[in-house]
Structure 1
Amino acid sequence: MREAYHVELDRLADKLASMSGMVANAMELATKSLLETDLQLAEQVISDDEHVDDTRAQCEEQAYSLLALQAPVATELRKVLAVIHAAESLERMGDLALHVARTARRRHPDPVLPPEVTPYFAEMGKVAVRLARQTEEIIKTTDVDAARALESADDEVDNIHRHLFTVIMDKNWPHGVAAAVDTTLLGRFYERYADHAVSVANRMIFVVTGKMPGYNSDEDL
Structure 2
Amino acid sequence: MREAYHVELENLAERLAGMSGQVADAMERATKAMLESDLELAERVISDDSLVDDARADCEEQAYALLALQAPVATDLRVVLAAIHAAESLERMGDLALHVAKAARRRHPDPVLPQNVRPYFDEMGKAAVRLARRAEQVIRTRDVEAARAIETDDDQVDDIHRHLFSVLMDKDWPHGVAAAVDVTLLGRFYERYADHAVSVARRMVFVVTGRMPGYSATEA
TM range (shorter): over 0.9
Residues in 2 aligned to 1:28 and 1:115: alpha-carbon distance in whole angstroms:
19
**TM-score with structure 2 setting the length:** 0.99
Residue 9 in structure 1 maps to residue 9 in structure 2: yes
CA-to-aligned-CA distance 1:101-125 (integer Å, 9 cap, x gap): 0001000000010001000000000
Query: After TM superposition, what 4+ stretches of structure 1 lie above 2 angstroms from structure 2?
Result: 215-220
Partner of 2:218: 218
CA distance in 1, matches of 2:61, 2:219: 34
CA distance in structure 1 between the aligned counterparts of 2:51 and 2:175, rounded to whole angstroms: 37
**One-letter amino acid of the counterpart of residue 15, structure 2:** K
Cα deviation, 1:163-209, whole Å, max 9, x if unaligned, reads 00000110000000000000000000000000000000000000000
Aligned equivalents of 1:67 and 1:219: distance in 2?
26
**CA shift for structure 1 position 217:** 5.7
Q: Match of 1:53, SS?
A: helix
> Between Structure 1 and Structure 2, how many residues are aligned?
220
* Equivalent residue letter for 2:54: D
Q: Residue 204 of structure 1 corresponds to which residue in structure 2?
A: 204
Aligned-CA RMSD value = 0.8
Give the distance between the partners of 1:45 and 1:74, measured in 2 at CA: 38
Match of 1:71? 71
Gaps of 5+ in 1: none
SS of residue in 2 equivalent to 1:174: coil
Cα separation, 1, equivalents of 2:218 and 2:64: 30
Corresponding position of 2:56: 56
Name the % identity.
77
Structure 1 length as normaliser, TM-score? 0.98
Partner of 1:98: 98
- Give the superposition deviation at 1:215: 2.3
Q: Look up the equivalent residue of 2:188 and give its one-letter code.
A: R
The alpha carbon displacement at 1:2 in A equals 1.1
Q: How does 1:141-180 map to 2 (within 5 A)?
A: 141-180=141-180
1:218 Cα deviation after fit: 2.7
Per-residue Cα deviation, 1:126-151 (whole angstroms, up to 9, x for no partner): 00001100100000000000000011
